[in-house]
Amino acid sequence: MIEARNITRTYTGRGAFTGTRTVHALRGVDFTLPRGGAVSFIGESGCGKTTLGKILTGLESFDGGELLVDGTDLSKLSARRRAPYFRRIQLIHQDPYSALNPTRDVGQILGDPLRMRARETGATRTQQRERAAELLELVGLRPGTLAKYPHQLSGGQRQRVVIARALTVDPEALVADESVSMIDVSMRLGVLSLLRDLRERLGISLLFITHDVATARYLGEGGELHVIYRGQVIERGPTDSVVQQPVHPYTQCLLSAVPVLRGLEEPGPDRLVPLAALDERVATPGCLFAPRCPFATDGCADGRPGLTALPADGAHRHACLHPRARRVVATEAAAVH
């Protein structure tokens, strides 16, 4: 089980002319990822979601809060003592075209981490080779793929290799950052359903980071969805509840932006118009979203609301002074036939 408590990350940059600039990538993020569970984070680019993925996999440090793996707080451990914990959380990269070494074949790509892992488990050479073949089968690739180089594989196949490589070290959780955005559409669902299978069949927990609500819904079914805006989680709850009954205007804007399959779906009657672009430089003591919010009132600029539970559903929480249900999500109008 992985728990994050009030994780913050602030970057301070110094521009040549602009003076010191502070970017709050994460402003106190909390979540619990139980074994076999799923948590998705959705938000625009620049909202801090990728930083979160990097922190969870040990590629980035955090400056406040606690990250607990099975109850051990990693922020209190030395880098060396921390490493075995991060072995259990593996990252699936966004771009399968740059995540694989082009000069090594798939056998080598899987073989290296398997050999490292064998130092702990004591697996023999034969067992390592068997494991490589097993992993390939698990991710839906033919045994012949072992002899292939990345350039001989399609985007979907490469992403499967990346997933197999992550599985070589027997992780308990996978962090998938926009894992299908670079893959051909007809291959995407295959990779998503593979991740879903790993969760359902092997109990591997999944932390999914994306800007695409539909894929978050597909992978996060039965899990939790967090909507993140400028480093703050502004709405969270069971995936279905947040997607079907969003109450925060930002979540509603995100859901309004999902394209409607005309003919099959009916746009929601309260669908909101697209927003102006995000300007993360705007500093405000109040609600972070207020400068872009179509429903902002004077009060929104004064204090920043924290997460509060909805009276009807304690698990569904939001950070808005004026939460209101709006029907922004498309509804099914007809089935394909």
Residues that bind other proteins in the complex, under the rule CB under 8 A: 44-45, 154-157, 184-190, 192-193, 211-215, 217-218, 221, 243, 253-267, 271-278, 329-337
Closer residue to other proteins (CB): 165 or 271:
271
Per the CB < 8 A criterion, the answer to whether 31 and 224 are in contact is yes
> Closest approach of Cβ 192 to other proteins, in Å?
7
Closer residue to other proteins (CB): 85 or 229:
229
Any idea what DSSP says for residue 62?
Answer: -
Tokens coding 301: 């600029």
> Closest approach of Cβ 227 to other proteins, in Å?
12
Residue with tokens 């350039």: 151
> Closest approach of Cβ 334 to other proteins, in Å?
5
Name the β-bridge partners of 14: 20
Closer residue to other proteins (CB): 25 or 254:
254
> Closest approach of Cβ 80 to other proteins, in Å?
38
Closer residue to other proteins (CB): 273 or 283:
273
The span from the CA of 149 to the CA of 143, in Å, is 13
Closer residue to other proteins (CB): 217 or 236:
217
CA 220 to chain centre: 10
> Closest approach of Cβ 290 to other proteins, in Å?
16
Q: What angle do CA 309, 314, 317 make, to 5 degrees?
A: 35
230: nearest Cα among 278, 275, 272, 301: 278
Strands 72-73 and 64-69: antiparallel
The span from the CA of 94 to the CA of 336, in Å, is 31
